[in-house]
Structure 1
């Protein structure tokens, strides 16, 4: 099954398929990837929701309402954290989440989320952790030296799933690129009504969203919808020449081109919205992420390409290979014990 139906979420002139079996298969995909909120909101915005079967509408509405209530709660918790940061003069930039949903999808319920992601200054990490702990969160896991984030969580009344705050001090693993996170801080602007809480520029938000999708090898529809939504919203304001030039300087060009190639190959109509000036060979396949039993040699080659050849320099490739071998060794050691 292709992703072509996503075009109907954005293009008023693109009709929804009439085949009843299409909606059953699509609903299964939507539920599997957890994008009911996005699909419901976008169909409603296009005036196409009533063109779908009643059971389809009801299921999407049910999931949309769940996501909306959770997002409202998360926004309240985020507000408490940001207000505390502001008092302590701690700089932070919310990543993705409810802020992203409101700014780029147009409504707090239009994109479901389950946690809070914040970019913080590395030299303020301990201060931030103390602040988050004072609000009832506890450290969830040990910090891994080469990683660029850590998380804290808080149990919620009546829920088995805790609320997690993930603290980032970078966008990529150490020594995997030449990206200088200070460039992103310098172009960030205060998020009203705060002074110390900032937000990325549109270009840097798109950059971050693409890297996030790459990090997961685009294994979910939610990464596609985030990128496609920004392409449709920003259109000509999205300057690919600058984006790719920055990626070349940051040594993330292969990651950026790989991600955007996959998005455009699966959604070719995007060329009419914002033309992508460069592509690379893609072995990525949609069905491989829906059914693991459908994986073929091509899918394993794609994973190999993603894992070891997404890097711009030989040095970064070798580091990833060494890191992977260490991981395999540790995994087998634990299995033996």
Structure 2
């Protein structure tokens, strides 16, 4: 090798970065980002009924479970080392005001009691929203103004407060408001504190985009809007500065943790928020469409599912997420 070439390459040949990549043991030793099963939260879909384990066609390996089938599911999760779940409910009946969501015998309330009976230490997070419980599929109370239908922010907050109190009473450990209503965190915090649930944390979906990647979830949760869309309350995918404002507002209102949803397609947003608020625990939701794309490509033999899932979830953690809500948790628990 000529001296001129060597000098043009900076510190080469003295510095050879490939030295730290030459064996699995060395690569593991110097790895900067490590996934851990304790980082994962598994979503569960609980549907009113008996003896139901209905496959979700767009989400292979996931099911709508009736409450009587929850016990076996929770025991399996315990055996895999999974200690946290987030619940989404499909009630037996829906109405305009999401009544099942705040009924003491609602589907989430039933599910929580069953889980806590089977596994008192299983961490239960409940989604606080209206879309699965309303007969129109939107995330709140509908009002009509100037001939147009839209979600009424402040009337919806009243329902979310009732949900929060009811879920807390049932034994939920963490409440996760996801409706993107202005003021939802402070209203929930006040309602919880007044009902002597000061100890229950709020994990706010602070930054939830109006994404095209929620399709499989809406099938699973049976919450597709019957008219219009959710762009008047969920965020525009083109905006990142707005995400910082949303996160700052929810933190100021009392959120204990914040979330970005989706995750894989918003790594820049996760990173920016974590840099701005490093002290706040950060969750990211690797959503149903992101999961389904990997599953579909793997089924066709185009990619290695486990390798890609690990790569994607590692990238989410590398971007700044402390907690990853994801549908690969059971599969990766066996590997990790």
Q: Which structure carries more strand by proportion?
A: 2
- In terms of Rg, which structure is larger? 2
The TM-score normalised by the length of structure 2 is 0.28
Q: Which structure carries more helix by proportion?
A: 1
| Structure of higher RCO (CA pairs closer than 8 Å, 6+ residues apart) | 2
